[in-house]
Amino acid sequence: MRAGGSEAVVDVRGLTFGYDREPVLRDVDLRIGRNDFLAIIGPNGGGKTTLLRLMLGLETPWRGEVTWPTGVRPGHIGFVPQFSTFDKNFPLRLRDAVLMGRLGRGGLLARYGRADHRAVDAILERLHLGHLAFAPIADLSGGQLQRALIARALVGEPRILLLDEPTASVDAETRQVLGQVLEELNRDIPVVVITHDITAFAAQVKQIACVNRELFYHGDGQLSHADLAEAYGCPVELIAHGVPHRVLHDHARDAVGS
C-alpha cells in the first residue's frame, strides 16, 4: 500500500518539478488519507512549499501527477499561506477578509447569503476573533492575522486543509487555539501542515514527511536524530520544550508503506 493508511483524498505519484532546469523535487510519492494529520518538515529550499503548490495545481509537474480520487475540487481545498505573503496594508476589515473564503461555494458572481454571514460569525467566535470583526486588518497583531487567515480557509468548509508555516511569528494564544481547532477539524478531514516547529503539533501529528528534494515518509509520526540529520543534510538537535517524543529507529528511503 502507498503511504497513507485510509482511503486517499490526494495521491501524488512520481512527482518531479523544479525551477530553471534545477529540480526541487524528485520522484515524490505521497498518499494522504481521510483521517491523516501530516506534518511536512525539512530545510528551507528543500521543496516543502513547492509540494503544496503542486498539490493545489498552482504549478505543473515536469513528471508524475497529483490526483484527487474522492473528487475534491479546488473550491474544496482550504489553504493557509505563509504569514509573510499576506499584504496587511490592503484596505479590508477582518470580517470581510474571512467572508472571501465563502467565494468558492457559490461561484465568483454569487452574492453572499445569510448562511455565509452566519458561517463567518461562527468561525470568528471559534478562533477568538469575534470582538475584532470590524477591525482593519492593518491593525491586527501577527497572531490575530494568522488566525484570520485560518478562519478564511475554514469558513468555506473544506474537505482538506493545507497550512504553510502556520505557527511562524505568532503568539502563545494563537498556537493553543490553532492546535485545538486543528485537532477538532481532523476528526472529519485530513490536515497537512508545513512546519519548522513540529513540537507545536506534538499532540495532533499522526504522520511525518521529511522533504529535502526527496520525500521520506513516517507513517507512525516518529522521528530519530538520524532521520532529521538525513532530511536536513546536517546534524539536528531536537528541542521538545517538555513535550515527550517517540523515536523511529528505521528510516525507509522509499515514500511508500507496506
Do 136 and 29 sit in the same domain of this protein? no
At 185-229, the pLDDT tens digits run: 899 999 999 988 777 788 889 999 999 999 988 876 665 555 555
Do 151 and 54 sit in the same domain of this protein? no
Do 257 and 210 sit in the same domain of this protein? yes
Do 67 and 172 sit in the same domain of this protein? yes
Give the structural domain span for 100.
87-158
Do 191 and 251 sit in the same domain of this protein? yes
Q: Which amino acid is at 14?
A: G
CA distance 206 to 216: 15
Residue 237 lies in a domain: yes
At 120-157, the pLDDT tens digits run: 999 999 999 999 999 999 999 888 888 899 899 999 99
Q: What is the pLDDT of residue 105?
A: 62
Predicted model pTM: 0.80
Residue 77 lies in a domain: no
Return the sign of the alpha-carbon dihedral for residues 62, 78, 142, 40: negative
Q: What is the pLDDT of residue 23?
A: 93
Q: What is the pLDDT of residue 27?
A: 96
Phi/psi for 213 (5° steps) reads 70, -50
Q: What is the pLDDT of residue 15?
A: 96
Last residue of a domain, one of 96, 123, 158: 158
Q: What is the pLDDT of residue 180?
A: 87
Q: Which amino acid is at 69?
A: P
**Residue 258's CB: how many other CB atoms inside 10 A?**
8
User: Is the model's pLDDT at 12 over the cut of 80?
Assistant: yes
pLDDT, the chain, mean: 81
Do 64 and 184 sit in the same domain of this protein? yes
Those residues with Cβ within 8 angstroms of residue 165's Cβ, 6 or more apart along the chain or in another chain: 82, 83, 194, 195, 196
CATH of the domain at 258: 3.40.50.300
The secondary structure element, H or E, covering residue 77 is strand 77-80
Residue 79 lies in a domain: no
**DSSP characters over 3-14:** S-SS-EEEEEEE
Written in H, E and C, the secondary structure of 190-233 is CEEEECCCHHHHCCCCCEEEEEECEEEEECCCCCCHHHHHHHHC
Do 171 and 257 sit in the same domain of this protein? yes
How many domains is the chain partitioned into structurally?
Answer: 2
Last residue of a domain, one of 116, 134, 158: 158
Q: What is the pLDDT of residue 242?
A: 40
Residue 206 lies in a domain: yes
Nearest to 10 by CA among 161, 131, 146: 161
Do 182 and 58 sit in the same domain of this protein? yes
pLDDT mean over 81-90: 74
Q: What is the pLDDT of residue 250?
A: 39
Q: What is the pLDDT of residue 232?
A: 55
Do 163 and 257 sit in the same domain of this protein? yes
User: How many whole angstroms from its chain centre is CA 78?
Assistant: 9
Cα angle at 76 between 24 and 90, to 5 degrees? 75
Q: In what order do the strands lie in the sheet with 63-67?
A: 22-33, 8-19, 63-67
At 40-76, the pLDDT tens digits run: 998 888 999 999 999 999 999 999 999 998 888 777 8
pLDDT mean over 161-178: 85
Do 126 and 149 sit in the same domain of this protein? yes
Q: What is the pLDDT of residue 112?
A: 85
Q: From residue 243, give the alpha-carbon distance in Å to each of 145, 151, 185, 188, 199.
A: 27, 27, 22, 26, 7
Residue 81 lies in a domain: no
